Amino acid sequence: MNVKTIEWRDDKVVMIDQRVLPIEEVYVECEDYKQVADAIKTMVIRGAPAIGVAAAMGVAQGALGIDSKDFATFEQKLNHVCEVLLATRPTAVNLRWGVERMKHKLATLKNLSISEIKQELKKEAITIMEEDIAINRQMGDFGQTLLNSGDTVLTHCNAGALATAGWGTALGVIYSAKAAGKTIEVYADETRPFLQGARLTAWELMKNNIHTTLITDNMAASIMRQKKIKAVIVGADRIAANGDVANKIGTYGVAILAKEHDIPFYVAAPLSTIDIRCPTGDQIPIEERSAEEVTNFYRQRVAPDGIHVRNPAFDVTPNSLVTAIITEKGIIKAPYLETIKKLF
């Protein structure tokens, strides 16, 4: 795909605007960390790994904007930058991971001048972006071994190139299968209410010449019953130490459907999405988004004024429904408490 999700260009963080795809292909240029934070919050950029990269770049941009000459003040000001970025979205742990990696880098740079530190932090953010693409390719290489040519895969939300620095996690597995000479078809859930499936997954799969069928979320059960789906592959926003998986709202339902129809349910996610400090899915914070996303359909109001609304953006799939987790270090299965521990 000839589209860059996120890039560092002339000290600006450039992102494709995922709020308006696929109708418009426009880019947002963030000139400082506050604009990066705003872009994460308003979902110009979304998807756990992409958010992690954006946060790291935000920290680097924040560092460039600090004019202090001594390390202690510089660090204090950079901590404030980190807090602003951390407050943008609560569920995807990659955000915290990206910020913490930048903080760890800073801790190794104490002996350098402030201007050298700024350059090193900028390099680190760009490295994080490049590593993300390489990690996705590794995951894809492992994950594609689970698929045979002719298989049809169902996916939920967008866990593709647009949700990462490139290639993708769940969709990366499809792209790697294609690169290995396999023909794979995809059913994409539209993913109400933000329509990541209809707008983003459908768009990027078509750009990559993958035969794709778009369905509304409530069609998945019937399609599975017709024996059209060989595997489900989704991404994740946070995986707890016991293998419980937080991902886009609706994923839990898809996992239950997969179990009922004897279809394997795979989760593709980098280690940066695994939160070993979080014991189970019950401790994962779930973002609640605005009511308008539910009362409106693509900006058109469809529900009566005054109606009560819930809009949790994510749900938790218990580890018992997860057939395997595909990571850059290999494919792991239950008992996840043990297999995840071994990864770290």
Beta bridge partners of 6: 15
In contact, 258 and 321? CB cutoff 8 Å: yes
The answer for residues whose C-beta is within 8 angstroms of residue 328's C-beta and 6 or more apart is 135, 136, 138, 139, 142, 270, 271
- Tell me which stretch binds ligand MRU (CB under 6 A): 44-52, 109-117, 206-214, 278-286: 44-52
**Residue 281 binds ligand MRU, judged by CB under 6 A:** no
Q: Does residue 236 belong to the site contacting ligand MRU (CB under 6 A)?
A: yes
Select the residue interacting with ligand MRU from 47, 52, 193, 197 (CB under 6 A).
Answer: 47
Looking up tokens 């995986």 gives 239
User: Which one, 46 or 101, has the nearer CB to ligand MRU?
Assistant: 46
Closer by beta carbon to ligand MRU, 102 or else 159: 159
Check binding of 244 to ligand MRU (CB under 6 A). no
- Please answer whether residues 171 and 160 qualify as being in contact, where contact means their C-beta atoms are separated by less than 8 angstroms: yes
Considering only residues 132, 190, 237, 275, which one is a binding residue for ligand MRU as defined by CB under 6 A?
237
Say whether residue 212 binds ligand MRU (CB under 6 A): no
Q: How far is the CB of 196 from ligand MRU (least distance, A)?
A: 5
Catalytic residue numbers, as ranges:
237
Q: Does 159 bind ligand MRU (CB under 6 A)?
A: yes
Interface residue with ligand MRU among 313, 316, 324, 340 (CB under 6 A) is: 313
248 touches ligand MRU (CB under 6 A): yes
Part in contact with ligand MRU (CB under 6 A); list of ranges 7-15, 74-82, 124-132, 158-166: 158-166
**Least distance in Å: CB of 181 to ligand MRU?**
24
Give the residue closest to ligand MRU by C-beta.
235
Q: Does 49 bind ligand MRU (CB under 6 A)?
A: yes
Q: Is 196 in the site for ligand MRU (CB under 6 A)?
A: yes
Closest distance to ligand MRU from the beta carbon of 69 (Å): 38
> How many residues bind to ligand MRU according to rule CB under 6 A?
17
Binding flag, residue 235, ligand MRU (CB under 6 A): yes
Contact residues toward ligand MRU (CB under 6 A) are 46-49, 92, 157, 159, 163-164, 169, 196, 235-237, 247-248, 313
